[in-house]
Amino acid sequence: MSTTPQFNEAERSTAAALPRRELIVRYDASERTNHWLVAIVFVLAALSGLALFHPALFFLSNLLGGGPWTRILHPYLGLTMLLLFLFLAARVARYNRMQPQDWQWLRQYRDVIANREDRLPEVGRYNAGQKLVFYSAAGCLALLLLTGLIIWRVYSTGYFSVGLIRLGSLLHAIAALVLICTIIVHVYAAIWVKGSVRAMTRGTVTPGWAWKHHRAWFREIMSHATNPRSRPD
Residues carrying an active site annotation: 186
Contact between 191 and 197 under an 8 Å Cβ cutoff? The reply is yes
Phi, psi dihedrals of residue 204, rounded to the nearest 5°: -125, 160
* Helix 215-226 vs helix 9-17: crossing angle, to nearest 10: 90
- Cα–Cα distances in Å, from 135 out to 25, 79, 92, 160, 182? 24, 18, 11, 29, 10
CA distance 141 to 82: 7
